Every structure is written in C-alpha cells, then in structure tokens.
C-alpha cells in the first residue's frame, strides 16, 4: 500500500486558471466560504442578524467611526419614497438607530443609493452623493447631525451651486472629483480645498484667491470620468474609468503636480478602491489589481482571472466595492455575478497572496468594524482556540472581535436587519456552506490506474464534515462522484473503495462555526500498467 500526503495548502493555493492536472498536490480548484491561512483550510463562520430596526430608509453605504465618545457606524442611503423630507443618514452603534440627517431637504431624488462615498477628515466623517451635497459631522458623535460643508465663508456648496461625484481627504486637503458647477457637468475636473488648520475644516474652495492653496485641474477626457480618489502615502491617486493619476504636493503656484500612473486601466466604480498598508487595491473591468503608485499589478493573474472574466456581471461591475479586513490581512473584492449588486467576494490574503471566494447576500456595501455593544469578545467566545483563530485583539472589556457588516438588498418599505458575516467563527444565526475541492489529482506519475482504500483527513471541527471522492480517466472528463461520507468530530479514518486514473475530493460543511483542515493522507494501491 502506498501513501500520498496532501499538505501545504498555503503554497498551493486556489487556482482555477491552470489545468488542474498541472497543479501541485497542495493546490485547490475550489475554496468557497473559506480561507487559506498557515497551511490550513478554514471555513468561515455564519451570518448574524444585527438589527431588527424598522427605519424607513434604504441603507446603502457604511463607514465605521472610532471616536473618543464611542464607536458607531454612519449609514447613508435613500428615503423610501424619494420625497424631499425623507431622512437618509443614520448612525448605528450596534443596537440603536439615530437619525443624523442634515434636516435641510438635500436628499431629493437620490436615485442610485449605492453612489454614496465617505471619508474621514480630522477625525470627522464626510459623506457625499452625486445628486446631493457634501456634508460632515462637525463633532464625531453618534447623535450629532450632519451639516453641509462650506464652500467659502458662510456659503455652503448648495448655495454656491456646486456638486461633486465623490469627495475624499488627503492630509490637510479635501478633494472633489467629477464636478457639477451650476448647469455645467465637468466629469474630468478635480478640485482641492485650501489647507485646513489642525482639527478644522477647510475655510475655502475658491481657487481664484491667490492667498490660499485651493485649486482645480481638468484631466484629459480620454481617461474617462473621475470616480473617486484615495491617499497613497504622500500622494493622492484619482481613479477614473480607464486611467489613474497621482497628485503630488509641490506647493507654490501649482500646489499639486499631476502625473499618470496608468493610462489604460482604471476603477470600475466609486467604491471599488481601498488602501491597506501603503498599497491600493481596486476592481477594474479587466480584473482585480493593486498599485503602489508607480506600477499596477494583477492579484488574480494565473490564479482566478479566467473565472473573474467569465463570471462577473460586466453590465453591473460598477456596483462593486472593496474593503480591507486588517485582523486577517485580507482584501475583499465584492462583485456582482448573476445579480445587480455584489453577491460574491474574491478575498485576497496579503500575506500569502492566495485568493479564496465567499458567498454574499446581495449587498449595496460592506465594511468591517468593532461595535462594542454587540460584538463578542474573546472572553465571551464559546468555541475553543482550535475552533477559532486570529489575533489576541482585546481583553474582555475591549471593543471585541471585528464583524463585517453589510447593507443587504431589501424589498418593501422598511429596513430589514443589518447583518454581519461572522469572520472568526463563533456561533452564528445562519449557517454557511463551506466547500473545498480538488479535481484531476494524479497520485503518482505513470500510465496506471489506482484504487484508493483509506483516507486520513486531518480535521479539527466541532461539527460534522462531509467528504466525497471522485474519479476521472482524463483531466478533461466529467467527475464521477462516489456517495458522500460523514466525518464526525474526532474521526481520523475513512474507508474507501474508488478506482481511477485521476482522483478528486470535495469537502463541505453546513456550519455556524469555524473548522479547519490541515491536510489529508491517502492510502492506495497501483492496479497495473495500462
């Protein structure tokens, strides 16, 4: 009897681009609702219902605010009927909803709820919608109403007749992109404010006054509409439909020098960009990318680019969004597959460069944070250390383990619950089906057939896990799957009887807890030379 040890999943990773028979033993062809960390395959936890509030608005954008007075979410969306007096901005602390709308009827006819963008400036949240006006909380407190941002002196953006597609912060400046100035639509114009004093908002955006640093530039039309921008170390990168430009502070007459980072690739949508550890990650119509401000590199080339191009809904890819999950060093590229809004995440691990997939409930937007009132702590966890993993983040009195909150797509006149994805794996309300699969696995070189007799899966799981073995005569054949077998917690051996040239295995669970697989040992015999 011969032995094959399957280990080192981190080195093999997920790969659906290369023919499976050419992949190393440790590679996977499917990792769904799981991740690869420390050479283990981990399932994610389930979903949790976070709020039963019936606030009469549609939530579409979230930003987590960690303030001195306590942590909370800013949740922006649209009123149910689009009426002028609809309330469209709320704060949520994990338990309670507070209406923090401006109260000035600036939320008329917000047709596209997912077009909200946000940033932080001097500790204050700023939100903007292209059909409304930029606004901020002058004090970052969950009960503080938003106020319209001033253009110059006592004149706000509405009075000045100004709108923008997106607003973002960069050091002491605010940037506005894709301008509407009066009746003129200026999709290629980028404006920046005067530099603000510490702790204050910019005093003016008027670039005609030579005593301040406010300014504007019109980028070439060939690069497409300006979608959004984001700080990258000392630079500010503006993302357009098919180009990326860097604004570098030089002072003097020009204030910012503009240079091209990419002239053939850009961002898919306003919220399809995020920064993590000095790198930008973004969704383009051509794939998933990263940039250091000088060059652009694919994160899915030779791994999952083919699946991206063949499955993503190109008609709605502008609705994609991206966020980081620092506790696990992950970037979540959330994409629409067979829907209008994202229902699948390509999750990129910054440490080991692996891509895995996570099913989503169709969502306008997601973000990670630590709402203390509802998030469990390590002390309150009911699972064991082997069942959960991550970092020792906090004590029992700390803010807790982060949740990934999301705005689901809802029908009707009320907001159904904001939900969260249980990323660590403590008990959840709704289970998720995790699936790990490898096809076209050759046990050893040679024109032989083989018979599998025993499998020794190296699981650590508090729940039942299901194993299915398949065979192929060639890598191009459909898989012939044998009946699924149940592996109970603590079980170390599975008896098999499967004969073929190429072998496949599929492991799944329907669980609310995290479990992991560190490897599997297969026992087999060679049936004879063909």
Strands 97-99 and 117-121: unpaired
Decide if 214 is inside a domain.
no
Alpha-carbon distance 496 to 524, whole Å? Answer: 9
**Total domains present in the chain:** 1
DSSP calls for 469-493: EEEESSTTSPPEEPPPEEE-TT---
Residue 379 CB burial class (10 angstroms; 0-12, 13-18, ≥19): exposed
Sole residue written with tokens 């047709």: 111
Whole-prediction pTM: 0.92
In tens digits, what is the pLDDT along the chain, a chain of 530 residues? Answer: 899 999 999 999 999 999 999 999 999 999 999 999 999 999 887 777 666 555 667 788 989 998 888 888 898 888 765 454 567 898 888 778 888 998 777 887 787 888 999 999 999 999 999 999 999 999 999 999 999 999 998 899 999 999 999 999 999 999 999 999 999 999 999 999 999 999 899 999 999 998 999 999 999 999 999 999 999 999 999 999 999 999 999 998 899 999 999 999 999 999 999 999 999 999 999 999 999 999 999 999 999 999 999 999 999 999 999 999 888 899 999 999 999 999 999 999 999 999 999 998 888 888 887 654 444 444 444 444 444 433 333 322 333 455 677 766 554 333 434 556 655 544 567 778 999 999 999 999 888 899 999 999 999 988 899 999 999 999 999 999 999 999 999 999 999 999 999 999 999 998 777 889 999 999 999 986 54
User: Could you give the CA distance from residue 327 to residue 378 in angstroms, rounded to a whole number?
Assistant: 14
Please give the Cα distance from 131 to 120 (Å, whole number). Answer: 20
Cα(471)–Cα(488) distance, rounded to whole angstroms?
24
Domain hosting 470: range is: 2-46+433-529
In a domain? residue 345: no
Strand (E) or helix (H) holding 158: helix 157-160
* Residue labelled with tokens 């030089």: 250
- What's the pLDDT at 393? 30
> Mapping DSSP to helix (H, G, I), strand (E, B) and coil, where does residue 330 land?
strand
Q: Which of 177, 69, 169 is nearest to 121 (CA)?
A: 169
Angstrom distance (rounded) from CA 177 to CA 188: 8
Domain-located, residue 462:
yes
Neighbours of 158 (CB within 10 A): 17
Q: Which residue has the tokens 């050419």?
A: 22
Tokens linked to 324: 């980081």
CA dihedral 116, 119, 125, 128 (to 10 degrees): -30
Task: Give SS3 for 328.
Answer: helix
- Token pair, residue 432, equals 């998720």
Residues 6+ apart with CB under 8 A from 316: 336, 339, 340, 341
pLDDT at 412: 39
Reduced to 3 DSSP states, what percent helix, strand and coil does the chain have, rounded to the nearest 5?
A: 5, 50, 45
Which pLDDT does position 423 carry in this prediction? 57
Query: 């503009």: which residue's tokens?
Result: 258
From CA 269, how far away is CA 267, in angstroms rounded? 6
In a domain, 316, yes or no: no
- Residue 515 Cα to chain centre, angstroms: 22
Cα–Cα distance measured from residue 48 to residue 429, given in angstroms and rounded to the nearest whole number: 5
Longest dimension (CA), the chain: 88
Q: What's the CATH number where 458 sits?
A: 2.60.120.260
């Amino acid at each position: 009897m011969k032995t094959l040890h399957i280990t080192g999943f981190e080195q093999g990773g997920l790969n659906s681009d290369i023919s499976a028979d050419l992949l190393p033993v440790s590679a996977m062809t499917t990792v769904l609702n799981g991740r690869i960390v420390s050479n283990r395959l981990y399932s994610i936890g389930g979903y949790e219902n976070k709020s039963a509030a019936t606030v009469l608005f549609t939530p579409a954008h979230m930003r987590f605010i960690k303030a001195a007075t306590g942590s909370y979410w800013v949740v922006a969306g649209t009123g149910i009927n689009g009426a002028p007096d609809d309330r469209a901005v709320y704060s949520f602390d994990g338990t309670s909803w507070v209406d923090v709308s401006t109260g000035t009827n600036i939320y008329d006819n917000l047709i596209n709820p997912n077009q909200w963008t946000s940033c932080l400036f001097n500790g204050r949240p700023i939100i903007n919608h292209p059909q409304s006006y930029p606004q901020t909380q002058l004090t970052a407190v969950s009960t503080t109403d938003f106020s319209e941002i001033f253009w110059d002196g006592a004149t706000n953006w509405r009075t000045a007749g100004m709108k923008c597609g997106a607003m973002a912060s960069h050091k002491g400046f605010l940037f506005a992109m894709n301008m509407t100035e009066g009746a003129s639509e200026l999709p290629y114009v980028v404006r920046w404010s005067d530099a603000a004093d510490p702790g204050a908002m910019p005093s003016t955006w008027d670039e005609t006054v030579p005593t301040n640093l406010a300014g504007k530039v019109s980028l070439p039309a060939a690069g497409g509409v300006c979608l959004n921008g984001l700080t990258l170390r000392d630079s500010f990168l503006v993302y357009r439909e098919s180009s990326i430009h860097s604004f570098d502070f030089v002072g003097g007459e020009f204030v910012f020098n503009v240079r091209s980072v990419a002239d053939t690739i850009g961002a898919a949508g306003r919220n399809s960009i995020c920064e993590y550890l000095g790198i930008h990650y973004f969704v383009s119509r051509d794939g998933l990318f990263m940039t250091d401000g000088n060059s652009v590199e694919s994160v899915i080339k030779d791994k999952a680019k083919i699946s991206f191009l063949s499955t993503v809904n190109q008609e709605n890819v502008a609705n994609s969004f991206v966020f980081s999950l620092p506790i696990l060093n992950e970037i979540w590229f959330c994409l629409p597959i067979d829907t209008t809004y994202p229902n699948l995440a390509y999750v990129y691990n910054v440490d080991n460069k692996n891509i895995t997939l996570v099913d989503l409930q169709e969502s306008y937007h997601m973000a990670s944070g630590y709402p203390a009132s509802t998030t469990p702590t390590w002390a309150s966890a009911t699972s064991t250390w082997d069942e959960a993993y991550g970092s020792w983040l906090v004590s029992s009195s700390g803010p807790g383990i982060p949740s990934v909150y999301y705005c689901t797509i809802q029908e009707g006149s009320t907001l159904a619950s904001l939900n969260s994805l249980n990323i660590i794996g403590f008990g959840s309300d709704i289970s998720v089906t995790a699936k790990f699969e490898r096809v076209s696995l050759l046990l050893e070189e040679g024109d032989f057939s083989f018979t599998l007799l025993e499998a020794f899966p190296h699981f650590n799981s508090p729940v039942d896990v299901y194993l299915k073995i398949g065979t192929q005569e060639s890598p191009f054949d459909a898989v012939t799957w044998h009946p699924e077998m149940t592996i109970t917690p603590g079980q170390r051996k599975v008896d098999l009887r499967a004969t073929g040239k190429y072998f496949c295995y599929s492991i799944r669970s329907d669980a609310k807890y995290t479990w992991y697989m560190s490897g599997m040992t297969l026992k087999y015999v060679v049936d004879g030379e063909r």
